[in-house]
Structure 1
Amino acid sequence: MRIVVGGADGAIGRGVSARLVSLGHDVVGIGARRPESWSGAVEFVTSTDYAADAVKGADAVLRCGGTSIAPHYSVEHSGGNAIVVRTALVLGRHVDDAVLRRFTGAVVFDDGSADRPLQVVHAHDVERVLVRALLESDLPAGRVDVAAAGHTTLRAIAAAVGRRVVKVPGPLGRIVAGPKVTAPTMDTTGMRDWGFTPTFDVAQAIEDFALACRGRIAVAGTVHDIPWRLPRVLQIPAVDAPAADGIEPVPAGPGDVTGEFDTPIDPRFPAFIATNLSEALAGPFSPSSASVTVLGTRAAGLVISERLRPGGAVQREMSVRTTGVFGHRLYAGITTGHFMAHTVPFIDPALVLSGFFGHTEDGLELFGEHLPPVEPRGLVRQLRGGLTFANCLVGLSAGSHGDTKAFAADVQRLEAAATDPATLDDDRLRELILLGRDHVVHGWVLSSASILLCAGYGVVMRLLCGRDVMPAAGDELVSAQALSAVHRLAAAARRDPVAARLLSEPETDAAALAAQAPAFSAALNTELALIGHRGPGEVEMRSATYADDPDLLIRMVTKALTALPRELPRLPAVPLRARPVAVAAASQLREREVRRDRMVRAIWVLRRLLREQGRRMVDAGELGAVDDVFYLLVDELDAPPPDLAGIVARRRAEQATLQGLVPPEAFSGRWTPTEAATTAFQGGEVLHGIGVSGGSARGRVRVVHAETIDDLQPGEVLVAKVTDVGYTPAFAYAAAVVTELGGPTSHAAIVAREFGVPCVVNARGATARLVTGTVVEVDGATGEVTVLGA
C-alpha cells in the first residue's frame, strides 16, 4: 500500500511511519521539517500544509489534528472510509512535544486542575491503533477513543518525573501554566470493539515517560539538556540521508561485499578503522545486534558531537558516522576522530587518537579530495575549545554518578520485569524487548561519555606530568570482576579437596560439583550471579555467556589452579600536583566500567527475551528455529515484514558470505577484502606494538577468537584481534596477552595493568603471522614480541 503520513515530523508520525515501512508499505511523510532520523530511502515532503501531489494516488492518508495535549488523528482510505482517532494525554520515552515541555520545567504550574482525574495512553499504543486504522479498511467508520484503563493526575505525573507542583492562583495561573493538561473524557467502547487493549497501563506509561524527562529542563518553552546530565536520545540521525549542503553518501565497498546494514559514507570523511569492539561484537554480526549495539554507538556519536560542538559539516558527521558498518563489522570514523581530537585544546590530535587506536592509522589517508569547511585551529578557536573541553570535563564528571545510578536502576527494573519471559503475554514481551533495546542504546551513550571523560583526564594528566600516566583504578574495577572471580574460585578449590579432585577430572561439570562439592558449587553460583551475564563475544546477540555455559567458567578455574601467582605491578608514581586529577580520572574509569557492565547485563536480559520471542514464532510457524530471531531487527518483531522466513534465509546466506572475507584493519574511501597474511614470523623476528602492562613472559602462542577461548592452555600467550571483558578470566592463566588492536585505555590494557599480566596491544598482524604453538617472549614495557622458535 501507498500511505501518506501527515505530521511525520512529530513523535507519533515518525513512529507510525517506521512501523509501516517495516511492514513493507510505501510511505510518504509530510511535515514542516524533515526529521533527522528519517531514512534517505523513504520519501518526505516538506510543507506547512498537506501536499496535494503527495496525497494523490494514496491508498490511505493520516492527518494529525488537535494539540499535543489533546491530539486527534484522521485516517482516510481511498474508498472513502474515514476514522477519527482521539487519544488521552500521550506519554512515553520518545515524546518530544508540548507534553515534554510542560513536565520538564523547573516546576509544574497548577492551573487548578492538578488533582483532577486525568487519562493517559502510551505513544506505542497510539501508533498500533493508527497502523490498524490505516491498513484495515473494513474497520467501522467514525470515532474511536484510545486511553489506558484508569486515571492519574497531573500531580502524580509531576512527582514521577521529579517536579514540584506550584499553585498560581487567578488569571496569572492560566497564563504561566500554559495549555491545560486535560482532554475530553475518553469513551473506549470503540477501542474494545476493535479488540484492542493497550499494552501499557497508567503506571507503566508514566514510568516510561519519566525516562524522557530525566536530564532535561524546559526554559522559555524550549527543552534543553541539563549540562551535567546525559538524557536519553529521542532521535538518532539516519546514516543514508544527504548532508545539509547536499553531499550524498556513497557506498564504501564493492557491491559483492557490501552488507544490507553497511554504512554509506560522506566522501569528505573517508577514513575508518576497526574498533576495540571487534571481539565483543565479532563480525559479521547478526541483524539483531545491528539494531541494538550499532544503534547505540550512533546515539553515542550524536551525544559526543553535541558536547564538543565543532559545528558545521564536522559536527553533523560526528553525529551521524562516528562509527560505521562495513562487511557487517564495526569501524570508527578516523577522519571524524581527527576533527574530534582537534577540539581538545593545545594538544597534538595524533596523541589523542593514539590513546584509542594505537598506531593502526599510521600512513592512512585521512582526507578526501574535497575537505569539509573547517575553521583554522588558531588561538581563538583553541581558547573556545578549551572552554568547551573544561565544561564537558567538569559538567559530565559532576553528574556521572547520578547518571550511572539511574541507569543501573533502569536495568534492574527491566531484569525484574523479565524474570520469567515465558509468563509474559505477547504484547508485553515485545514491549520489554523494545525497552531493553533502548536501555542498551542509552548504555552506549553513557559508556561513550565516560570514554570522552577518561580521554579528557588523560590529556590533563599529560599536561601536568609531561607524559602518559595511567592512574590505578583499584580492586573494585567492574571489568576485572570476571578475572577476580576465577582467582576466588581457584582459591576455594584449593581449600576443598573434593572440589580440587573433581576439577582435575576431564568430564566434571556443574551438576557433578553441585552433587559432590556443594560448598564450591554455592561459591560458583555466587560468582555467576555477579558475572554470569558476561562472556566472550558478549555484545553479539547470538553469543552464550557464562550463565548460559557455566562449564566454560569451570574449565577456566581448572586451568587457573595450575597457574603461578603473579606479583602485582607497581605503577609509576603520580606527581603531587597531578594527584587530584588522577583520583578523578580513576573514578571516571570505574564509572565507565560500571556503565558498560550494566549495559552488557541489559543485553543479557534482552537476549533471553529475544529467545523467548523466537520460541513463540517457531510455535506459530513463522520461523524455523529459535535462533532465527537473531536475524530480524528488533523493530521487525513488533512490525513484521512479509516473508519472515525468506528474510532470515537471505540474511543467513549474506552472513555466511561475509564470514569468508578478511576485512581490512583500516581503509580510506573504499574498502575491499584483504588477503590473509601467509608469511609467519620466523625465529629472531620482532613484532612491535604498544607496551601497556610491564613485565616479560615466555610461552607458546595460542591465537584465539570468541568461540575458541576455551582452547587456551595455562602458560600460553593469548593472541587475539582484541580482547574484551569476556576474555579476562583467561588472563588468570595466560603467560601474557597480545592484541592487534587497541590502545592504552582498552579493556585488555586496563585489566592487565591491575593484575600484573604482561600485555602488548596494537601489534599489527599478530593473529595472522604468529602461529599457534610458536614460542615467543612478550615484553609488556617495550611493546616487543620476539619470536624464539617453534
Structure 2
Amino acid sequence: MVQGANFYRRRLYQAIAPVYAILPFKMTDDQAAELLYWEMPQDLELKIRWPMVPVSLAVAAVFYLTCGLSQARSRAMPDDFMDSFRTLFRVVDRDASLTPAQAMMRMLLAPGAFAPIGKWILFINVTSVLRYFILMGVLNVLLRRWVRDIPRDAGSLPCSGSMGVRSTEMGRSITALAQIARGNEDVARILQTYSRDEIVSAPKSTTSAAPFMDALNEFLAVHGHRALKDFEFTSPRFEEDPTPILAMIRNYLETNSNPDEMAQNQTDRRVELAHSIRQKLSGGLRWRFIEYLADRARYFIKLRENSRFLHIMAWYEARKKILRVERRLMDLGRLKVKGNVLYLTWAEVEALLSAKLAWADVEERIRARRMRHVRWSKQTPPKTLNIESTRQPVAQHESHLTGQGASPGVYEGTARLILDPRVDADIKPGEILVAPFTDPAWTPLFLVARAAVVGVGSYLSHAGTIAREYGMPCVVNVDGCAARIRTGDRLRVDGTEGIVYLLTDEPESNEDSEGQFQ
C-alpha cells in the first residue's frame, strides 16, 4: 500500500500530506486535494515555502532515481513497445505457485530488473500522467500569454487527435464488428431481436454466424481482459461474458458513425488551429516551442491510455487465480455458489483450503458482505474525507448543472442515462451520454453519443480524454447529474464553460434523438 493511502468503503483514498512534502508552495487543503485529482486550482498562488525547498528537492531526486530510468526509456517509443506485457501476463498465468496478490505484484512492480521497458507498465503510467499534466499546464499558460483572442479550447485541441490510442481503437474494432453483423442477416436479426441473455449463445449455434464469431474472438483476444468496472474483481471480463460488447454492437447497427472520420475531423481542426497560432506568432522559436509541447503532450496522452489498457491485465490475472481456487473449493464442497469467493479475505480462503473453515463458517459473512457491497455500490463516494473545506459547494440550479469542462464545444440533444452498461447499454445515435462515471470499457458508447455528462472525473479523466479525441463536448464532475437528469430530457452541454443546461423536465419521445452542435 502506498504511504498515506487507505480504503474507505472499498474506495482508495490518498492522504494529502505527500502533496505538501512534494510541492514547496503555500496551499490550502482544498487546493492540495484538487492537485491529487489532477485538477489545476484556479486560485493557486505560487508562494514558495523556502524551508520546504530542500525537502521537495530530495523527494524529487528520489522520484527521479526510482522512475527516471523508465521516463528516459519511454520518452520516444513506437506504439507497440508495451505489447511484451502480454508475454508477462501469460507467464504469470501459467505459474500456479503465485497467489493473486503475488501475481499482481509480479506484473505491476517486479517484472524483472532487466525486463524491457514495455513490461514496466505501472511506472510508465504514473510518469506519463505527471509529464502530460505539466506539459498541458505550460502549454495553456504560454498560449494565453503569447496569443491574443485565443479560443478556450486552444490548449486541449492541439493535444488531441492521437492515433494509436488503444481505447479508441476498441471503438473502431466494434464498428468493424457491426459492419460484419450488418452484412449478415442472421446475425443482425439475433442482435436486434434476442434478449441480452440469448445474444451470446444464439450466434454460436448459427452456422452462418461463423465469420462474425471468428471476428468477435479476434476482438476478445485483444480486448477480452477489459470489463465495465476494470478495477473490481467482481466484474466479469469481456472474455468471460461478451454480452456488453454484443449490446454495443447492437447500438452500432443503428448508426453510421465512423470513428476514423470523427478522428480525422478532430485532426483537421487541430491543424487549422495550429496554422492560426503559427501565423499569430509569425513562426519563430515561440511557435516551435508550442509545437514541441503539443507533440509531447499527444505522445504522453497515448502512453497514459495505452499503459492503463494493459495494466488492467494484472487485475484480470488476479481474478482468474481467485476463480481457479473457487472451483477447487466448490469441488471440495466448501463453497456452494459461484462468485462467493470474491467476498472472502485471502486468509479465509486459505483456511477453507486447509479445512480449518467450512461452508457453515463463512456462509453468513459472505451474505452480509454481499449486501454491504450492493449498498455501498449505490452510494456516491465523497470526494474528500476529514477535510474542512473553506469553499462554498457549487450550487446546482433548477435550470442548469455545473461541472468541469473536459472537452470543449456546445451540443444540444436528448439525454440517455446509463447507470450500468452491463444491464443497459442501449444508446441511440445523437443522444447525450449521462453517466455517474465512465472507464475505458465505456469508450464504444462515445462513438454513438454526441456529448457526455459524467458525475465524477477531471480534465485528465478517461471521459475527457476520449471526448477530446472524438471532438465531442464533455462536462465531468457534475454533482448529482445521474439523479437530476432522466432519459429523454433535453440538454445543452457546454463543454467549454462546464455547464449542462436542463431545457425541459418532461421526457420526450426517443424517436428523434438527433441533436445539433452549436
- TM tier relative to shorter chain: 0.7 to 0.9
The verdict on how the C-alpha distance between 1:664 and 1:416 changes in structure 2, with shifts beyond 3 A counting, is closer
Q: Equivalences for 1:359-370 in 2 at 5 Å? A: none
Three-state SS of the structure 2 residue aligned to 1:330 is strand
**2:383 maps to 1:666:** yes
In 2, the alpha carbon distance for the partners of 1:750 and 1:742 equals 11
Runs (5+) with no aligned partner, structure 1: 1-294, 299-319, 364-374, 420-427, 672-678
Greater strand fraction, Structure 1 or Structure 2: 1
Opposite residue 523 of structure 1, the aligned amino acid is A
Query: C-alpha deviations, 1:25-45, integer Å up to 9, x for none?
Result: xxxxxxxxxxxxxxxxxxxxx
Partner of 1:541: 233
How far does residue 528 in structure 1 lie from its aligned partner after superposition? 1.6
How far does residue 744 in structure 1 lie from its aligned partner after superposition? 1.3
Q: Equivalences for 1:66-465 in 2 at 5 Å? A: 295=1, 298=2, 320-321=3-4, 323-333=5-15, 335-336=16-17, 338-339=19-20, 342=23, 350=31, 353=34, 356=37, 358=39, 376-377=49-50, 384=57, 388=61, 396-400=70-74, 408-409=83-84, 411-415=86-90, 418=93, 429-431=96-98, 433-439=100-106, 441-442=108-109, 443-465=121-143
Match of 2:448 among 728, 733, 742: 733
How far does residue 444 in structure 1 lie from its aligned partner after superposition? 4.3
Partner of 2:308: 596
Q: Equivalences for 1:426-505 in 2 at 5 Å? A: 429-431=96-98, 433-439=100-106, 441-442=108-109, 443-466=121-144, 469-470=155-156, 471-472=159-160, 474-497=162-185, 499-505=187-193
How far does residue 341 in structure 1 lie from its aligned partner after superposition? 6.5
Three-state SS of the structure 1 residue aligned to 2:37 is helix
In 2, the alpha carbon distance for the partners of 1:599 and 1:784 equals 34
Three-state SS of the structure 2 residue aligned to 1:728 is helix
Structure-2-length-normalised TM-score: 0.72
- Kept in 2, the 8 Å contact 1:510–1:521? The answer is no
Three-state SS of the structure 1 residue aligned to 2:7 is strand
How far does residue 616 in structure 1 lie from its aligned partner after superposition? 0.2
The verdict on how the C-alpha distance between 1:562 and 1:456 changes in structure 2, with shifts beyond 3 A counting, is same
Partner of 1:69: none
Structure-1-length-normalised TM-score: 0.49
The verdict on how the C-alpha distance between 1:479 and 1:343 changes in structure 2, with shifts beyond 3 A counting, is farther
Partner of 2:368: 653
Q: Equivalences for 1:743-758 in 2 at 5 Å? A: 743-758=458-473
Partner of 2:213: 521
Partner of 2:288: 576
How far does residue 728 in structure 1 lie from its aligned partner after superposition? 1.2
- Kept in 1, the 8 Å contact 2:227–2:441? The answer is yes
In 2, the alpha carbon distance for the partners of 1:462 and 1:386 equals 27
In 2, the alpha carbon distance for the partners of 1:386 and 1:349 equals 22
Higher relative contact order (CA 8 A, sep 6+): 2
Query: C-alpha deviations, 1:394-429, integer Å up to 9, x for none?
Result: 75421237999897535424325636xxxxxxxx53
Runs (5+) with no aligned partner, structure 2: 110-120, 146-153, 278-286, 389-394, 507-518
- Kept in 1, the 8 Å contact 2:453–2:481? The answer is yes
In 2, the alpha carbon distance for the partners of 1:383 and 1:340 equals 6
- Kept in 1, the 8 Å contact 2:254–2:428? The answer is no
- Kept in 2, the 8 Å contact 1:701–1:773? The answer is yes
How far does residue 599 in structure 1 lie from its aligned partner after superposition? 1.5
Query: C-alpha deviations, 1:693-730, integer Å up to 9, x for none?
Result: 23313112414135434254544332222210111122
Partner of 2:516: none
Partner of 1:700: 415
Three-state SS of the structure 2 residue aligned to 1:760 is strand
Q: Equivalences for 1:551-570 in 2 at 5 Å? A: 551-565=243-257, 567=262, 568-569=265-266, 570=269
The verdict on how the C-alpha distance between 1:639 and 1:340 changes in structure 2, with shifts beyond 3 A counting, is farther
Give aligned pairs, total.
441
In 1, the alpha carbon distance for the partners of 2:247 and 2:202 equals 13
- Kept in 1, the 8 Å contact 2:431–2:451? The answer is yes
Partner of 2:404: 690
- Kept in 1, the 8 Å contact 2:433–2:449? The answer is yes
Greater C-alpha radius of gyration: 1
How far does residue 613 in structure 1 lie from its aligned partner after superposition? 1.0
In 1, the alpha carbon distance for the partners of 2:318 and 2:384 equals 33
In 2, the alpha carbon distance for the partners of 1:724 and 1:377 equals 40
Opposite residue 397 of structure 1, the aligned amino acid is Q
How far does residue 663 in structure 1 lie from its aligned partner after superposition? 4.9
The verdict on how the C-alpha distance between 1:355 and 1:557 changes in structure 2, with shifts beyond 3 A counting, is farther
Opposite residue 702 of structure 1, the aligned amino acid is L
The verdict on how the C-alpha distance between 1:484 and 1:336 changes in structure 2, with shifts beyond 3 A counting, is farther
- Kept in 2, the 8 Å contact 1:337–1:353? The answer is no
How far does residue 590 in structure 1 lie from its aligned partner after superposition? 1.9
In 1, the alpha carbon distance for the partners of 2:385 and 2:252 equals 43
Which stretch of the first structure deviates more once superposed, 574-583 or 630-639? 630-639
- Kept in 2, the 8 Å contact 1:357–1:741? The answer is no
Partner of 1:509: 199
Greater helix fraction, Structure 1 or Structure 2: 2
In 2, the alpha carbon distance for the partners of 1:362 and 1:461 equals 16
In 1, the alpha carbon distance for the partners of 2:169 and 2:239 equals 15
- Kept in 1, the 8 Å contact 2:450–2:472? The answer is yes
Partner of 2:149: none
Three-state SS of the structure 2 residue aligned to 1:698 is strand
In 2, the alpha carbon distance for the partners of 1:777 and 1:473 equals 24
Three-state SS of the structure 1 residue aligned to 2:500 is strand
Which stretch of the first structure deviates more once superposed, 646-655 or 715-724? 646-655
Query: C-alpha deviations, 1:675-706, integer Å up to 9, x for none?
Result: xxxx9975xx1111222223313112414135
Opposite residue 591 of structure 1, the aligned amino acid is L
- Kept in 2, the 8 Å contact 1:482–1:728? The answer is yes
- Kept in 2, the 8 Å contact 1:510–1:551? The answer is yes
In 2, the alpha carbon distance for the partners of 1:544 and 1:784 equals 35
- Kept in 2, the 8 Å contact 1:533–1:547? The answer is yes
How far does residue 773 in structure 1 lie from its aligned partner after superposition? 3.5
